[in-house]
Structure 1
Amino acid sequence: MDWDKLRIFHAVAQAGSFTRAGEILHLSQSAVSRQISALEESLNVSLFHRHARGLLLTEQGELLFDTARDVSAKLAMTEARLMDAHEKPSGELRVTATVGLGANWLTPRIREFIELYPGITVNLILADRELDLGMREADIAIRMRAPQQPDLIQRKLMAINHHVYASPEYLKKHGTPTRIEDLLDSSLITYGDEAPANLSNVNWLARELSKIGRIKEPIFKVNNVNGLLLAVQSGLGIAGLPDYIVHGHTNVVRILPEVGGPTFDSYYVYPEELRKSKRVNIFRDFLIRKVAEYAF
């Protein structure tokens, strides 16, 4: 069997559609469909049930998928071991993280990592959706919740805390709140309706205030934590922000320190087949050291 066709078959079976597999493989939907049809013709079996809701594996397709999955995992593991066989770690390390954490906390620390390990190239993929590590969309993920897949290794990285923030300019103009009740008449900035689904209780400040009394309509909504930070920095209003994102910004101050939002753990996640990868383990240990240097 043609391995290239098997590779495409494996991607389609994982994704459940030609279109989604094409996006992952950087191929057109028609090219993916042609490869699957050619594979089915060469094997003289149907591998998928095609219907309006997507693709389902046939019994023969399930049998082939089990083998293709095992081969893909072993090839990925072998590739990692070959690249790690050098005396010094080298090669590309694809890391995915949320836009907020990746841009504001992780990116400023990448220079030090590369200076320590110049043979490793970091490819950082910022996305608030969770990339599929099983489909090799990335090697490592830093996630805001524990993964559900049993074949992923997880290591707690750090706790994410939230507090209330405003800019000195806003406080000079409107006064500094001394009680949470003072926020009922303030200009609130919140996440919009399309807030990241993988983050729970993102609009915690508005919910806490609604328990106390009637709050005004938020002055501004945005579906990204970077947007929240920039809006607060501009003096537009007050927002609940994760503590990591304000680190290093002098024009944002914490107010009402006794008022805290949700706390949840973030995780360093990677596939089982990369357990022995030097690059994966070196990057993990580096991030753990960086977390220890800064109290969130």
Structure 2
Amino acid sequence: MDWNDLRVFLAVARTGSLTRTSAELRVSQSTVSRRIAQLEASIGMTLFQRHQTGYFLSDEGRELLRHAELVEDSVMALERGVAGLDKAPAGSVRLATSENLATDLIIPALPAFRERYPGICLEIITSTATAELGRREADIALRVVRPERGNLTVRRVGHMTYSVYGSRDYVARHPPIDGEPLGGRHAIVWDDGHGFMPAAVWLAREHPGCRIALVTSSLPAQIAAVRAGLGLAVIPDFLAAPEDFVPVIPSDRLFSNDVWLVTHADLVASARVRAVGDFLADQVMRTNPALSGRGPGA
């Protein structure tokens, strides 16, 4: 049985879609379809029920999935073990983090990183969803939520505080009513798909009846909306430009998160992964006063 066929099978079983599997594995949809057909022919079973709405596992497919995941775990462990043997900081490293940390902290620092480690190709995955390090969706992660499960090495590298901000013009045009910071004002909020985000949880708990001006699925969109004068939003303090934004509710009345550097335990000895981790901790986080604990907002 070909591992590449099993890898495609696992992806289709998890996504339920040839299109999403094609994008995830970076192969054509015809290749995905052909490999599934090859696997079904080789074992003499129908693994998926094909519908216009997607691919759904058959009973045989669900049974194969259980065995395929055990094979996947073994292959991933082998790959991590081999990756951990490298002695020179060279090769590819996949970093999972949030969009705002990537665009505002990590990428501006990459010229210095590239100068120091020209042999490392960094691949950054930005998403609010958690990448699985155990399944090699990423080699290393920078997160604001500490993982509680998995064979992981975790270290605290920073601290992130939040405040409710509005543009100077918006705050001047909409003074608070009856001493309520959000009274007479509108909020810019996360959509339902991101209701688990700390800012969404805090706003729903503390100001459940607030008036909403805009619903978004990304922090950059919320920052742009605040800058445009649409309303107020919960924003990390290190991203709030003091010349544009005014704190309406300060950080000591909201919440904060530690920032965690997470690596799979099998990759701790990898020179290239260690180089990325040390750079993120030392050059990206500790040189930023707002995130290192030295600044007034931290």
Q: TM-score, normalised by structure 2?
A: 0.76
Unaligned runs of 5+ in 1: none
In 1: Cα distance, 2:271 partner to 2:144 partner: 24
- 1:69 pairs with 2:73: yes
Indicate the percent of aligned positions where both proteins have the same amino acid.
30
Shift of the 5–179 alpha-carbon distance from structure 1 to 2, 3 Å rule, reads same
For 1:1-296, what aligned pairs fall within 5 Å after superposition? 1-9=1-9, 11-12=11-12, 15=14, 17=16, 19=18, 20-42=20-42, 44=43, 46=45, 48=47, 53-54=56-57, 57=61, 62-63=66-67, 65-78=69-82, 80-81=83-84, 84-86=86-88, 89-147=89-147, 149-175=149-175, 181-185=180-184, 187-202=185-200, 204-205=202-203, 207-210=205-208, 215=210, 217-246=211-240, 250-257=243-250, 260-289=253-282, 290-293=284-287, 294=289, 295=293, 296=298
Q: Is the 8 A contact 2:165 2:233 kept in 1?
A: yes
Shift in Å, 1:17:
4.1
Q: Deviations over 1:158-204 (max 9, x none)?
A: 333211222233344445x698524312x223214345254135263
Q: Is the 8 A contact 1:12 1:18 kept in 2?
A: yes
Question: Superposition RMSD on alpha carbons, in Å?
Answer: 3.4
In 2: Cα distance, 1:68 partner to 1:256 partner: 48
Classify the secondary structure of the residue corresponding to 2:215: strand
Q: Is the 8 A contact 1:18 1:32 kept in 2?
A: no
Q: Is the 8 A contact 2:177 2:183 kept in 1?
A: no
1:5 partner letter: D
Shift in Å, 1:74:
0.8
1:237 partner letter: G
Q: Is the 8 A contact 1:47 1:58 kept in 2?
A: no
In 1: Cα distance, 2:136 partner to 2:203 partner: 37
Q: Is the 8 A contact 2:166 2:227 kept in 1?
A: yes
Q: Is the 8 A contact 1:95 1:139 kept in 2?
A: yes
Q: Deviations over 1:242-263 (max 9, x none)?
A: 22322x5532232443752222
Unaligned runs of 5+ in 2: none
Shift in Å, 1:3:
4.2
Q: Is the 8 A contact 1:163 1:241 kept in 2?
A: yes
In 2: Cα distance, 1:260 partner to 1:196 partner: 22
Q: Is the 8 A contact 1:101 1:245 kept in 2?
A: no
Shift of the 37–204 alpha-carbon distance from structure 1 to 2, 3 Å rule, reads same
Q: TM-score, normalised by structure 1?
A: 0.76
1:181 partner letter: E
In 2: Cα distance, 1:54 partner to 1:6 partner: 14
Aligned residues: 283
